[in-house]
Amino acid sequence: MDRRTREYLSGRFGDYYRSADPTLPPDPDAREWGHIPWTRGESTTMVRHQSIYELGDLSDFLAREAPRHVYFSAACYDDPGADTMDEKRWRGADLVFDLDADHLPSVDPDEATYAEMLAACKDALERLLDLLETDFGFEDVTVVFSGGRGYHVHVRDDGLAGLDSAARREIVDYVRAVDLDVEGLVRTRAVGGTTRRELRTQGGWGRRTHRRLQRFVDELSDLEEADAKERLMEFDGIGDGRATTLLGAFDGDAVADGNVEAGGPGARTLVEALARETVAAETAPIDEPVTTDTHRLIRLPGSLHGGSGLVVRRLDRSALDDFDPLVDAVPERFTRRSVRVEVTDPGTVELDGDSFTLDAGEQSVPECVGVFLMTRNRARKVKE
């Protein structure tokens, strides 16, 4: 990034911060603070091991320094400004999850547009929140658009703060269904003097698989018998005979009870196949190191992302469905005028409710588009 571009962005970030109202985390004085300034060249330098007291008034600091990125620690410490982790004296940490489009198996970063990546990441966010709130029962959940390619989720609970990295990794493994024992979702239970195999329907991945099984059976009930049998025989290991037995078992209460004994061997085959489908459809591909790192720095809501010029936006849970990051995270200050830039990486940009197809060379664009391009090294600032 050349000097003119760097100085322009630094100045405009400072203008944004002069009227911004960043959202402080709980216990801000117990957290470590860090930021990345607008350094020369392509390298970045993280300034960290600071307490909020060293920064002074946060709003004044942000307006004065206009940093490229701003962070605070998920952890709380006795002395957050100390130079080493041992000297900081760790008290505990929020449980933090990171979803980034680059890590989504359904997204090819080289082929997908920025808008497509964000849409895919929002779908993954919905799955993550369902897991955290339904399966774990977490209540104090904060959702933040990262300003880049995804979302952060903060869970704050005194009962979780002391978890070490190993315990947090177990939560990650559950959310990602790592090494899930599909066969273990079925248990053997004594009923009326006999034993029978039942799907674990009370919670976890067993309950999720049971829910998918019920939906599948409802779909079969809308089909003619021949079509329903054909649909069942699409699963490996289920032939004509097993399909007939399964359809007979579906007429009773077996499905509602999770009874996989009634359908014979085909029921177990079907349940295991649906369990794999459930895992593929309902897991959330979170970034493991972010959750397991008990000293992690995370972006400050209300700050600007130096790689996009978008706002790191805290989201109300009720407003999540309607949130469009390419509109709602665009700083209003950057929508009021146009700027001249030299586009070095042409293409289409979707931002602020519009689509812009840009050729290489000098041109005038809305400032939010110019800032987006410059922060992503796709354009340079030129004289007006």
Q: Catalytic residue positions?
A: 98, 100, 287
SS3 content of the chain, % helix, strand, coil (to 5): 40, 20, 35
Amino acid of residue 262 = A
The full length of the chain comes to 384
HSE, side-chain direction, 13 A CA sphere, residue 37: 10
To 5 degrees, how large is the angle CA 321–CA 323–CA 326? 145
Question: What backbone torsions phi and psi does residue 33 show, to the nearest 5 degrees?
Answer: -120, 145
Element holding 75 (H helix, E strand): strand 75-77
- DSSP type of residue 333: G
> Contact, 99 vs 287, CB < 8 A?
yes
177: Cβ contacts below 8 Å, ≥ 6 apart: 205, 279, 283
> Contact, 330 vs 115, CB < 8 A?
no
